[in-house]
Amino acid sequence: MTISENWLIRETAFDPERLHHKETVFTIGNGYLGTRGAFEEGYPGATPATLIHGVWDDAPLFFTELANAPDWLPFVLTVDGERFGLDRGEVLCYERVLDMRAGTLRREVRWRSPAGREVDVSIERFASLADEHVLAIRYRVTPLNGPAKIELRAGLDAYTDNWGLRHIEWLAQGSSDPQYLWMHSRTLKTNIELAYAAHLAVDDISGVEYHFWDADGRPTSVAHFTLSQGQTATAAKLITIYTSRDTDDPLAAAQAKLERAVEAGYARLREAHIAAWADEWAQCNVTIEGDDAADRALRYSLFQLLIAAPRHDDRVSIGAKTLSGFGYRGHVFWDTEVFILPFFTYTRPEIARNLLLYRYHTLPGAHQNAGAEGYEGAYYAWESAETGVETTPKWWPHPDGSLVRIWTGDIELHIISDIAYAVDQYWRVTGDDDFMRDYGAEIILDTAAFWGSRVEYNAEADRYEVTDVIGPDEWHDHVDNNVYTNRMIRYHLGLAFEVLDWLDEHAPEKGAELRRRLDLSHERLARWRDIEAKIKINYDPETGLMEQFDGYFDLRDVDIADYEPRTQAMDTLLRESGIDPNDTQLLKQPDVIMLLCLLADAYDDRTRRANWDYYAPRTDHRYGSSLGPTFHAILACRLGMPEVAYEHFMHAAGADLEDSRGNAAEGIHGASCGGMWQAAVLGFAGLRVTPDGYRVEPHLPRHWKRLCFAFRHRGQPVEAVVENNKLGGGEKSA
Amino acid sequence: MTISENWLIRETAFDPERLHHKETVFTIGNGYLGTRGAFEEGYPGATPATLIHGVWDDAPLFFTELANAPDWLPFVLTVDGERFGLDRGEVLCYERVLDMRAGTLRREVRWRSPAGREVDVSIERFASLADEHVLAIRYRVTPLNGPAKIELRAGLDAYTDNWGLRHIEWLAQGSSDPQYLWMHSRTLKTNIELAYAAHLAVDDISGVEYHFWDADGRPTSVAHFTLSQGQTATAAKLITIYTSRDTDDPLAAAQAKLERAVEAGYARLREAHIAAWADEWAQCNVTIEGDDAADRALRYSLFQLLIAAPRHDDRVSIGAKTLSGFGYRGHVFWDTEVFILPFFTYTRPEIARNLLLYRYHTLPGAHQNAGAEGYEGAYYAWESAETGVETTPKWWPHPDGSLVRIWTGDIELHIISDIAYAVDQYWRVTGDDDFMRDYGAEIILDTAAFWGSRVEYNAEADRYEVTDVIGPDEWHDHVDNNVYTNRMIRYHLGLAFEVLDWLDEHAPEKGAELRRRLDLSHERLARWRDIEAKIKINYDPETGLMEQFDGYFDLRDVDIADYEPRTQAMDTLLRESGIDPNDTQLLKQPDVIMLLCLLADAYDDRTRRANWDYYAPRTDHRYGSSLGPTFHAILACRLGMPEVAYEHFMHAAGADLEDSRGNAAEGIHGASCGGMWQAAVLGFAGLRVTPDGYRVEPHLPRHWKRLCFAFRHRGQPVEAVVENNKLGGGEKSA
């Protein structure tokens, strides 16, 4: 069966200039770990990385980061003593394919050695979705112009680093039999143990000799054999990984698991893995018929989210760069709840639940954040890691040696309501009342308590204000009464009352417990009501226009067109002209428009249109935040402009695959991936969950034939198909 | 012949708690590189390091640091399959000896394996002083309770780091014969190539089999053989190192050098090495008869300076922590010129000349520093590295996550005159007129030009002032008219005129060239004269007392006794009591007392006494700066208080050997080592070089019998002996 190209990400030539970008693109994983698409044989300057959920280690300035775990990829081939590598000899043919349906990464190379030996090399790897502790590489080699002595070296590497910073300390290694090896290591500061076991086998070749190289930190199984011209050898390297987060004796667990993996063998492990992927895709695939590029790019985004999503661990979440790179150090932002989570909420609620439980488990850290600033309740960190204590760097080292002060960790507060919003959405879509009762309500109420203490009363105007914040648009810091922040606080407090009422009705004991434990006195609740009623919202009922924050409309109005053509973000260009972006109306990313998307039912078309017309032209879509385009696509759909939406959608699609923002080397743009799904399903298809059920309000681009997607509504799987009526909208058939 | 214990640093038991301290203590080197005393077989948490002069690589916040080069030590023993290590089995006997006369580090261990095999292991290493590219390890093993299968693994390790930060990128490795191997690597940012070659040979054992383990970055030669009970095998690992700073093809150079080293063999390489050390000690040894502890400690200080001193490279200098640890990142401070240099100036002027030429070669960096602040002339960096451009970190990351602003790189200016002073001293002691003509004069005049532009004229008082500086005492920053700084500027400008006159008389062409090139116009020189005459010096002719800076005497007078007993520095204790050390009269280190030592002939005993009585009790000798004690010793000698001086001298002696300051793990206290020599020779012996010759004015501690030292006076070697007359002074016999 030929697989559709739309399930494949294909690279037909190797470009060393794009090495790090492509390492990100070809990341594989299984929700337990992610491994960048570095080559098995290495490449000069490569940045191989395996990031395992929850394996944090201390890092200067950034507090903590996901440690680059020991590398399981090393697999070196020598042909008559010459080492195979893309940086030597001659690459005659080259292809690399990420098969998203199978969850495998394959490379086919025809190579001529410096001395003239020609070989075909075929390498496939996967991180099992059927058993997250199992990894495998299949290596095939065929000499083409004469017999050849082959050496295959399959090893582990403890000497990894995160952009130069080491986190792993090698402890011990060994081998009972030259085909088997194990390695034990731990993180330098947090003492998390990592145990790997591995096995090398060459199939159906006679006279294979195995050796073990016991070089510290680089244990290696070596197989020697001779192939005749045209003869193919197939070798398999199976690897198992456990950490002390998983079990008390990770080494024993890795060795036991390896035994079972070796018994099963590569082919059966691969079958189980592919079956797991088939099951996965059946629950969450989206198909765009009539637009292969959009179809493949969207699927790629979903693939990258699926491989980063913890399936068996509710103490971790998905970082801004997933498990695919060192950018943002693995820290978790609002990107997860607002951009990524809906995909899981609608298609894989078990995963969404894990991600939200991470926030529940980090409530103690959020209390610490609030207490440190003299506030009550739970104050979720702008950047969150193991404990939920704020891990945003205060200072960021600029390449020129200076330090840039980062304010987001101090004053970008809206994440607190964003998380409450995500809990609410999860509840409405899944109907998971147990979660709301046991965890969600506490998150919503505890964070509401933060707002109760944070919001400032302006007696003169008899209103509540929130000064000195950063809204979603980060080109404006230290602003007052950001409309997104304030409106979300109003929503959040309203939700708190709704949840309290629900608890009183459906779980009165839990309601009583939370009222007592969180000290939800009548006075406190009365204050919340007062804030909800009187918080300042910069909304002009005449025009429907919202002012992003106090004084925004008085700022300098810069026309981006005056700076075109450009290859840099507007804030950089402004600064070069001596203008502080803070003093202009230009936006890094949507702010009011985000609000119109999140609280969609609270606004009418006139309001949507007025704010779109004002803010969209003032946003740096191309080089501002990668969080922007998909939400512009969603609002454009709502406004009946699917072609405009499509431009934004495809712009988002290029962030990783095309590296259109130039920073894909640092990892996948997770928020953009999640936004792609939202743009497709909540935007183009216009799926709306209502108290009674759901409906679609499609606005498909003209050239799309059909949009099909799976989701679950209150536990029931739904297969939705939206046909394009060619008149600018779509028709539903679910 | 039995060697005196005073030439040996002996450790008779291994204490894992002191692992990092002892790695520093047992550092060996040869002026090309230094290698910490880590174990050949490794130890959990060890910090092995080889630092090579001039091999800088970029580091965040600290700009650049000496990169931890690939490790040449790895030498692993297995006995019947059990790996030897101090962290396993049982250590039955243990001794480690640094032989300072031979420049070798030796370890003798009797070890019982977990399975009960007993072996004697004897390991010796040296970095050849006869050929700085050659390193060697001799490994002996003897099974004690039955025959044993022995495996010896001699390898290289590319995976080093500086406190977690990696600087080395592995490039390639290989082996033509299992006894030989080579490895090629380079620094990550600065692209300095490092090439190592190595050879393993086991002597006089039949049936030795060699293998090569080609694990990337850890190439290893492995020897297998069987020993009968009581039989000793002796193996030698020879290593050669070149970098691209030495030659265009460092790998070829390392391999060629290895061929010659293998031909010579361990024994002859060792002989040549020991002969080189004998020659070295003949030129610079100091002997204190009647006080073994002082004698050994002083010799240890000299040994550590000698192994850090570049003999064939004038583009590097000795960092504050020599080549023995990561502290201060290899950066060069005034420690070198004021504390360390005199030892070399008096005993090994060729080395002193290299160190001063480093300052000459970094004049362009010093110009850049001056220009960046809007000043003229040469402004030497407070922390200097490859180019002389300022590399003091602006911010230092506190373990609590905050950043501490470091001001020394901005305003600790006195180093500029300190370097001029060192040039002057070198000239007077060595009579090296060529150096003064070709290099020294330019340093002195170019830095004088800086002062001409930096000093501020106070018209009201008709005097010159220097505001907002840090003097030698770093507990007071942003002070005005630090007396050390201002008095040294007066000295410096006076020296500039002296040198100009000398040039006019002895090298008029050079004088004319410098006047032209440095723009030494009449107006400029007139201003220098005016500054020299009118710079503010806080000196009270009534009392002889100097005020450390404007307003110092008005600061809070804290009695250190009120804080005893204590185990922390006074600045920490003050801060804990809510007192800013800046607001008190307590000193981290001598400031006025430094001035009295450097410009000794400018002051009389009344002045010395008055300032000693005032400042010595206000200085935190124990936990302040390690730069303090030796200069207190020098002044105490001058004041006829050798017993007081001795207390300070022995306090300095403990900084490295006893880790009395708790930070020896970060590297040798180089300034303290240099100060030890100065205290002995310029303090206790009272050596004075005069325009006519030299004399001694001894003040030996009562229990010292005799003080002998070698030095060179204007090219002539002198062997000096000072006998103690038991009446508190000493008598000369040279």
| pLDDT reported for residue A726 | 55
A216 and B157: CB-CB below 8 Å? yes
Token pair of A35, please? 């491994």
A40, A137 in Cβ contact below 8 A? yes
Those residues of chain B that have pLDDT short of 70 are 1-2, 726-734
User: Catalytic one among A474, A532, A547, A666?
Assistant: A474
Nearest to B220 among A159, A215, A395 (CB): A215
- Residue among A602, A480, A444, A462 at smallest CA distance from A530: A462
List beta partners, residue A141.
A121, A233
pLDDT one-digit tens code per residue, A113-147:
999 999 999 999 999 999 999 999 999 999 999 99
Can you tell me the distance from the alpha carbon of B101 to that of B9, in angstroms, rounded to the nearest whole number?
Answer: 11
Can you tell me the distance from the alpha carbon of B509 to that of B409, in angstroms, rounded to the nearest whole number?
Answer: 36
Nearest to A165 among B165, B397, B402 (CB): B165
| pLDDT reported for residue B2 | 64
In Å, how far is A172's CA from the nearest CA of chain B? 10
Nearest to B159 among A61, A217, A401 (CB): A217
Tell me what percent of chain A is helix, strand and coil, each rounded to the nearest 5: 40, 25, 35
The pair phi, psi for residue B580, each rounded to 5°, is -85, 120
Determine what percent of chain A is predicted with pLDDT higher than 70.
99
pLDDT for A605 beyond 90: yes
pTM of the model: 0.94
- The torsion angle over the Cα atoms of residues A554, A560, A566 and A569, rounded to 10 degrees, is 40
Mean pLDDT to the nearest integer, A252-281? 98
List of residues 6+ apart from A726 with CB closer than 8 A: A702
pLDDT one-digit tens code per residue, A158-189:
999 999 999 999 999 999 999 999 999 999 99
B397 and A60: CB-CB below 8 Å? yes
| pLDDT reported for residue A730 | 46
B167 and A164: CB-CB below 8 Å? yes
Which residues of B form the catalytic set?
Answer: 474
Token pair of A191, please? 């003492």
- Residue among A183, A255, A171, A193 at smallest CA distance from A67: A193
Can you tell me the distance from the alpha carbon of A24 to that of A105, in angstroms, rounded to the nearest whole number?
Answer: 13
A218 and B216: CB-CB below 8 Å? yes
B558, B574 in Cβ contact below 8 A? yes
| pLDDT reported for residue A87 | 97
Q: Which residues of B touch A216 (CB under 8 A)?
A: 42, 74, 76, 157, 218
In Å, how far is A103's CA from the nearest CA of chain B? 29
The strand pair at A90-99 and A8-11 is best described as: antiparallel
H-helix or E-strand spanning residue B531: helix B522-534
Mean pLDDT to the nearest integer, A301-327? 98
The pair phi, psi for residue A619, each rounded to 5°, is -110, 135
Q: Which residues of B touch A45 (CB under 8 A)?
A: 169
Q: Which residues of B touch A215 (CB under 8 A)?
A: 153, 155, 213, 215, 218-220
**Strand, coil or helix: A719:** strand
Q: Supply the DSSP string of A495-541, one letter for each residue.
A: HHHHHHHHHHHH-HHHHHHHHHHTT--HHHHHHHHHHHHHB---B-T
A196, A239 in Cβ contact below 8 A? yes
In angstroms, the Cα distances linking B76 to A99, B29, B379 are: 44, 22, 49
The pair phi, psi for residue A234, each rounded to 5°, is -120, 120
Mean pLDDT to the nearest integer, A622-633? 96
> Any idea what the Cα angle at residue B368 is, between residues B363 and B371, rounded to 5°?
125
B214 and A213: CB-CB below 8 Å? yes
Token pair of A386, please? 């193991």
In Å, how far is A162's CA from the nearest CA of chain B? 9
Nearest to B165 among A63, A153, A164 (CB): A164
Q: Which residues of B touch A165 (CB under 8 A)?
A: 164-166
H-helix or E-strand spanning residue A225: strand A220-227
| pLDDT reported for residue A731 | 47
- Residue among A319, A279, A291, A234 at smallest CA distance from A103: A279
A188 and B153: CB-CB below 8 Å? no
Q: Which residues of B touch A171 (CB under 8 A)?
A: 44
> Any idea what the Cα angle at residue A171 is, between residues A166 and A176, rounded to 5°?
130
Write down the residue that tokens 């799976």 correspond to. Answer: A710
- Residue among B72, B91, B76 at smallest CA distance from B11: B91
| pLDDT reported for residue B391 | 97
Token pair of A42, please? 């290495």
Report the greatest alpha carbon distance in chain B. Answer: 91
pLDDT band at A402 (very low <50, low <70, confident <90, very high): confident
How much is the ipTM here? 0.91
| pLDDT reported for residue A509 | 97
In angstroms, the Cα distances linking B624 to B401, B611, B620, B679 are: 24, 19, 5, 19
List of residues 6+ apart from A143 with CB closer than 8 A: A79, A117, A118, A119, A150, A227, A228, A229, A230, A231
A276, A130 in Cβ contact below 8 A? yes
Token pair of A329, please? 């150090």
